[in-house]
Structure 1
Amino acid sequence: MIRIVVADDHPVVRDGVASTLSATEGLEVVGQAESGPEAVALAVRLEPDVVVMDLRMPGGNGVDAVRELRRLGSATRVLVLTTYDTDSDTVAAIEAGATGYLLKDAPTESLVAAVRSTAAGEAVLSPAVASRLASHVRSPQGSASLSAREREVLALVAKGTSNRLIARELFVSEATVKTHLVHIYTKLGVTDRAAAVAAGYQQGILS
């Protein structure tokens, strides 16, 4: 069972997302928050697997909440669900530590799939967001530092592929995939899959 907290300052949206997720087998909404600080407090108290987080909330924004959860060492992963796909919003959320970034106009099945992927630690980026990241200012360094196999692994991560499926695709063990990911994180200066994908687009490794 994937346990979820939904954070959004609009009650109708919050209730709608919570109802949709609660009606899905294997998903359980254990709390709702109307601000970033409230989401952090609930995450610390309830230890959900995923917080579905709006970005812009008057009581405290989502980016600050994501950053605070990472600072606290929380194991809860964050899926940003927002109407905003600007460069500043997208990059700030991913750099803060969000595992996924989805727009509110996404169909229900995409939201459910994104929650499941986020809970599994897999990077989730909607096509519009991936396009934003790809057009973001790119750094000339980074691309040459990844080996050909590491670039293959990063490209599959960007598609939301799990370690198990990456291993199958590349005919290697899951342990080898994890080793490649550690090297990728180190070379890109990141700590998780979503940030690695963001850095890959920013540095021109992914296109």
Structure 2
Amino acid sequence: MGADSEESAAQWLVVGLGNPGAEYAGNRHNVGQMVLAELADRASAPFRSHKTNSMVAEGRTGLEGPRLVLAKPNSFMNLSGGPVAALMRFYKIPAERLIVVHDELDIPFDTLRLKNGGGHGGHNGLRDIISAIGTPDFIRVRVGVGRPPGRQPAADFVLRDFSSAERTVLPNLLADGADAVEMVAREGLTAAQQRFHSPA
């Protein structure tokens, strides 16, 4: 195995989904990118513009941990697939080492669920990634944002900022999301599921 192959085998691509621009930065739909900001802070890794139409930061999970390529597509959520496919090609990372962090309406706020593969569940960012890379078989860190109250449309709900009450808890949720990504990379999906799916 050559040096390039060894390097690509030792690293993970972690993609945080969201929409570009300051007006979307605090939206529930952007919670995946918020988790990536937490991971980049931990690694002291600044995001830089990358030719894959993404912002990329590279770092490790701890001193000896696996190398993470943290990426935030510059495209809108529904067009996430192109940048993700380009990142996988550029870094030579296979789908089994792709982790996508995204918001999830079907999970209560302040809750995480992790899985490998499956459908897109109506999430247009996942839908576009699956279409672009040709497989659904990648790991998802699903960050619960809960269901909208009353009859508020889901599309409006996810494009609004977290409530003031939610924002008091949000730092803990983002830290948990970052912990989950790091644990998947270090110890594998099953170990991370056992930790984060167990009742507190």
Q: Normalising by the residue count of structure 2, what TM-score does the alignment of the two structures yield?
A: 0.38
Larger Rg: 1
- Give me the TM-score of the superposition, normalised by structure 1: 0.37
Which structure has the highest helix share of the two?
Answer: 1
Larger strand fraction of residues:
2
- Which protein, 1 or 2, shows the higher relative CO under an 8 Å CA cutoff with sep ≥ 6? 2
